[in-house]
Amino acid sequence: MKAAVMYGVNQPLQIEDVEVDAPGAGEVLVKTSASGVCHSDLHFMEGSYPTRTPIVLGHESAG
């Protein structure tokens, strides 16, 4: 799948193909057509919310 990957604070997102693991017990895999990078993701990009990198941003799925 395509994903917006953050490698570091204040760095541009990289659009990349990433592999998705098969779902485990009690999980499902949902086909997503699009996902927005929203204002809360900017907090990660600006360093306001510390996180490990690389990280895939975007959590508002559609489709």
Question: Which pLDDT does position 5 carry in this prediction?
Answer: 97
The sheet with strand 2-6 has its strands ordered as: 14-17, 2-6, 55-57
Q: pLDDT averaged over consecutive 10-residue blocks of the chain (63 residues)?
A: 95 96 96 90 95 93 86
SS3 of the chain: the string is CEEEEECCCCCCCEEEECCCCCCCCCCCCCCCCEEECCHHHHHHHHCCCCCCCCEEECCEEEC
Question: Which pLDDT does position 63 carry in this prediction?
Answer: 79
Question: Which pLDDT does position 37 carry in this prediction?
Answer: 86
